[in-house]
């Protein structure tokens, strides 16, 4: 017993406290009283024979093949690569016990190592080695093992393992007594001792040839839905079939998805395909300005620019910037506070075909210097006293828009839109439209370069999706965040008005809006602030939330006060042109759960949850989120290695298409 105890202490050292199973609900603190339910399944005779043949060639058993398959499945479903499985052992190692009546069965912990993505043949070898060692040390009672190891205990979880695997391969025998009929009947359902229990029985024909395996899976109903266990068993059969057919393949290559599931994940659940827009941002705005020249385009605490005013001023500045060398594939930095002048400058840069780099004047000087050193802007548009000018990159022309000489030079420029004849190069959809830096919360800030075509595609979808942008949209955040792209440009191609303001009542002396906003995009953190502000600050039609998980309880409190507002929870890293997915909450629609989901892919967007081999994982299985489609950015400025690491080939989108690995 001392020797066996030493074996088990060494073998189970570092055993995971609990493996992650594909449950439908988190484990409760108190064990429920619902009986475990059962799913029946079979392995057909052909698969049974193939498993037996593989076991024979490897000096293993059918049970070991089943254990290897189950461990591989659990690993693929997110349980990790250290898989403990419980199994019964007969406990009759001494011949003298053969004819004794009594219960000698013990429980073994069979630890299965799936690390390194081994082939199924190699995994079966690992299982065989571990199991044979366990069988040599099977006499130590399981209760004694638990007592000595003293693992973290929980009333809702079996100690040391949560999954049980049993195989009955004893011959079928019929017991007959004179005048008495005897048959096997199922017992009443009881509580499931384990999260998942698989009990299988081999069948053989009269000649002893494998004739199939019948099985039942009893599961904990407080964790699993019936359909989840059914689908897991289907995946087990699929994995076993693929693995015994090609045992030399890595276990990650066995396809767990049916054809229907694959089509659902890769086709049906993706964004709709929409033709690329015919025009880019400059022409989209110019077309709207021609339709509504006298309508207000920008409003800032009493100062209003009409579409005609904004168009003329942006055109003059664009011609002046082109004269300073701005154009496609150049960067123009813009270091201005939120103001009508900022709107003029951003549109002017777009009209030159260059990419704008927004510099928040409140950023630390070191960060501003980093951004300018990275991008080497051709021109820096700023003011005479702005702190960003001192950090200008070598060779950058500093253009102070409040300098009287600059104002006079710009005023002499044409007020007609620049054309490709005016630009150094023709403007193309693949040219860069802006460079916005990530926050740096997961490392050094990185400049993300988004192209004109991707921006135009997003704006086209947003214009049709957010109808209230033809009213008044509040621009309240720093334009150094790509979240503001929606409020900056969508109103200007929809006939709406960009209202420059704040969500702080007394910020910079700005007064509350004269008329209500129809559209607002904010972070979930702004919700508590919106609850405290006067009603004039609340949008009357649409609220977009982005940048953080949405707490459903806080949102519901706001929605009770504003029942007629539609809410959209949008998700999209900086690397994917503003938004990639969206969850819509119509007025009156209730919220399920504690956190809003991120929703479905937008048009021309594809979203995948993939494993380490870039294969789609089954529904309910953790994986890494990838975003593909027209909105994927070009990459990181000046960081080709990091770009190659995060922007990878899309195996589902055809040649030359990339997807962004979100992490």
Q: What is the pLDDT of residue 231?
A: 95
Q: Are 82 and 51 in contact (CB under 8 A)?
A: no
* pLDDT grade for 117, boundaries at 50, 70 and 90: very high
Alpha helices, DSSP H, located in 437-493: 452-465, 485-489
Backbone dihedral region for residue 376 (phi beyond 0: left; psi -120 to 50: alpha; all else: beta):
left
- Given this model, what pLDDT does residue 253 score? 93
Residue 471, token pair as written in the block: 């009213």
pLDDT of 380 higher than 60: yes
What SS3 class is residue 422? coil
Which residues are paired to 379 by β-bridges? 332, 397
Bridge partners of 434, per DSSP, are: 356, 450
Mean pLDDT over residues 598-605, rounded?
96
Q: Which of 344, 346, 340, 336 is nearest to 304 (CA)?
A: 340
Assign 296 to helix, strand or coil.
strand
According to the per-residue pLDDT averaged within each range, which of 245-254, 513-522, 587-596, 612-621 is highest?
Answer: 245-254
Model confidence band, residue 258 (pLDDT cutoffs 50, 70, 90): very high
pLDDT value at residue 154: 85
Largest Cα span, the chain: 118
With a CB cutoff of 8 Å and minimum separation 6, the contacts of 125 are 58
* Rounded Cα–Cα distance for residues 527 and 446 (Å): 28
For the record, the structure tokens of 571 come out as: 């998700």
Residue, of 391 and 2, whose pLDDT is higher: 2
8 A C-beta contact, residue 339 and residue 500: yes
> What stretch of H or E contains 355?
strand 355-358
Give 643's strand partners: none
Q: Comparing 24-38, 292-306, 490-504, 578-592, which segment has the lowest mean pLDDT?
A: 24-38
What is the model's pTM?
Answer: 0.89
pLDDT in tens, 283-339: 999 999 999 999 999 999 889 999 999 999 999 999 999 999 999 999 999 999 999
> What confidence tier does 392 reach under pLDDT thresholds 50, 70, 90?
low
Tally of CA atoms within 13 A in the half-sphere of 97 that contains its CB: 9
Banded model confidence at residue 391, pLDDT cuts 50, 70, 90: low
Q: How far is CA 178 from CA 174, 181, 182, 462, in A?
A: 13, 8, 10, 82
The interaxial angle of helices 281-291 and 452-465, nearest 10 deg, is: 40
Cα–Cα distance measured from residue 476 to residue 521, given in angstroms and rounded to the nearest whole number? 9
Q: What is the percentage of the chain residues whose pLDDT exceeds 90?
A: 78
Q: What's residue 509's pLDDT? A: 42
Higher pLDDT, 502 or 66: 66
Mean of the pLDDT values across residues 17-33?
86
> Residues 410-424: what's their mean pLDDT?
96
Q: What is the pLDDT of residues 184-225, one digit of tens each?
A: 777 776 777 899 999 999 999 888 899 999 999 999 999 999
Ranges 73-87, 119-133, 385-399: which has the least confidence: 385-399
Higher-confidence position of 594 and 71: 71
Residue 183: the pLDDT is: 82
Residues of the chain by 3-state class (helix, strand, coil), percent to 5: 35, 20, 45
CA atoms within 13 A of residue 541's CA, in its CB half-sphere: 14
Give the full edge-to-edge strand order of the sheet including 647-649. Answer: 605-610, 624-629, 658-661, 647-649
Cα-Cα end-to-end distance for the chain? 48
**Interatomic CA distance for residues 245 and 45, integer angstroms:** 14
Of the pLDDT bands very low, low, confident and very high (cuts 50, 70, 90), residue 389 is low
| Structural contact between residues 36 and 218, judged by C-beta atoms closer than 8 angstroms | yes
DSSP labels, 91-144: ---SGGGTT--S---EEEEEEEE-TT--BHHHHHHHHHHHHHHHHTT--S-HHH
Mean pLDDT of the residues in the chain: 92
pLDDT at 13 over 60: yes
- Of the pLDDT bands very low, low, confident and very high (cuts 50, 70, 90), residue 227 is very high
Q: What value does the mean pLDDT take over residues 546-575?
A: 94
Q: In this predicted model, what pLDDT tens digit does every residue of 465-512 receive, in sequence order?
A: 999 999 999 999 999 999 999 999 999 999 999 999 888 754 444 455
Each residue of 608-662: pLDDT tens digit? 999 988 999 999 899 999 999 999 999 999 999 999 999 999 999 876 789 999 9
């Amino acid at each position: 017993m001392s020797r066996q105890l030493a074996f088990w202490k060494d073998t189970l050292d570092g055993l995971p406290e609990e493996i992650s199973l594909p449950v439908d609900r988190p484990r409760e603190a108190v064990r429920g009283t619902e009986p475990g339910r059962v799913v029946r399944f079979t392995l057909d005779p052909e698969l049974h024979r193939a498993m037996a043949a593989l076991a024979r060639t490897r000096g293993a058993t059918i049970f070991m093949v089943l254990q290897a398959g189950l461990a591989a499945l659990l690993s693929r479903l997110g349980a990790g690569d250290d898989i403990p499985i419980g199994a019964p052992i007969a406990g009759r190692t001494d011949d003298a016990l053969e004819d004794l009546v009594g219960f000698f069965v013990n429980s073994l912990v069979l630890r299965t190592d799936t690390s390194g993505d081994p082939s199924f043949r190699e995994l079966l070898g690992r299982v065989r080695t571990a199991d044979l060692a366990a069988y040599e040390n099977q006499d130590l009672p399981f209760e004694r093992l638990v007592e000595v190891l003293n693992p973290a205990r929980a009333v809702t979880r079996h100690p040391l393992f949560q999954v049980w695997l049993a195989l009955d391969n004893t011959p079928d025998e019929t017991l007959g007594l004179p005048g008495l009929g005897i048959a096997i009947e199922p017992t009443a359902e009881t509580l499931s001792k384990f999260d998942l229990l698989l009990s299988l029985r081999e069948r053989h024909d009269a000649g002893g040839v494998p004739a199939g395996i019948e099985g039942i899976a009893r599961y904990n109903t407080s964790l699993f839905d019936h359909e989840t266990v059914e689908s897991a068993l289907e995946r087990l059969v699929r994995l076993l079939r693929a693995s015994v057919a090609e045992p030399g393949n890595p276990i990650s290559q066995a396809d767990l998805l049916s054809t229907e599931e694959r089509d659902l994940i890769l086709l049906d659940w993706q964004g709709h395909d929409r033709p690329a827009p015919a025009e880019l941002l400059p022409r989209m705005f110019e077309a709207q300005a021609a339709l509504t020249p006298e309508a207000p385009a920008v409003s800032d605490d009493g100062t209003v620019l009409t579409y005609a005013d904004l168009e003329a001023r942006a055109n003059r500045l664009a011609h002046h910037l082109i004269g300073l060398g701005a154009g496609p594939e150049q960067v123009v930095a813009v270091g201005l506070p939120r103001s009508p002048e900022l709107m003029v400058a951003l549109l002017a840069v777009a009209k030159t075909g260059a990419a704008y780099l927004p510099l928040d004047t409140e950023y630390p000087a070191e960060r501003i210097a980093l951004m300018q050193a990275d991008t080497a802007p051709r021109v820096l548009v700023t003011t005479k006293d702005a702190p960003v000018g001192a950090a200008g990159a070598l060779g950058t022309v500093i253009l102070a828009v409040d300098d009287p000489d600059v104002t006079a030079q710009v005023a002499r420029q044409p007020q007609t839109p620049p054309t490709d004849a005016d630009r150094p190069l023709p403007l193309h959809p693949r040219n860069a439209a802006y460079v916005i830096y990530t926050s740096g919360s997961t490392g050094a800030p990185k400049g993300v370069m988004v192209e004109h075509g991707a921006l135009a595609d997003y704006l086209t979808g947003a214009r049709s999706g957010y109808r209230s942008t033809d009213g008044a949209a509040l621009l309240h955040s720093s334009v150094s965040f790509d979240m503001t792209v929606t409020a900056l440009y969508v109103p200007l191609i929809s006939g709406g008005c960009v209202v420059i303001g704040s969500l702080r009542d007394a910020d910079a002396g700005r007064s509350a809006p004269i008329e209500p906003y129809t559209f607002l995009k904010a972070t979930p953190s702004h919700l508590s602030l919106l609850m405290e502000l006067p009603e004039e600050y609340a949008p009357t039609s649409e609220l977009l939330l982005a940048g953080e998980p949405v707490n459903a309880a806080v949102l519901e409190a706001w929605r009770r006060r504003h029942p007629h507002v539609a809410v959209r929870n949008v998700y999209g890293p900086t690397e994917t042109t503003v938004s990639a997915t969206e969850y819509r909450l119509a007025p009156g629609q209730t919220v399920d759960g504690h956190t809003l989901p991120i929703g479905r892919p937008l048009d021309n967007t594809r979203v995948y949850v993939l494993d380490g081999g870039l294969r789609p994982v089954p529904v309910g299985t953790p994986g890494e989120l990838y975003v593909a489609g027209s909105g994927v950015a070009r990459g990181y400025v000046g960081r080709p290695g990091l770009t190659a690491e995060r922007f990878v080939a899309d195996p589902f989108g055809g040649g030359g298409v990339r997807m962004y690995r979100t992490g």
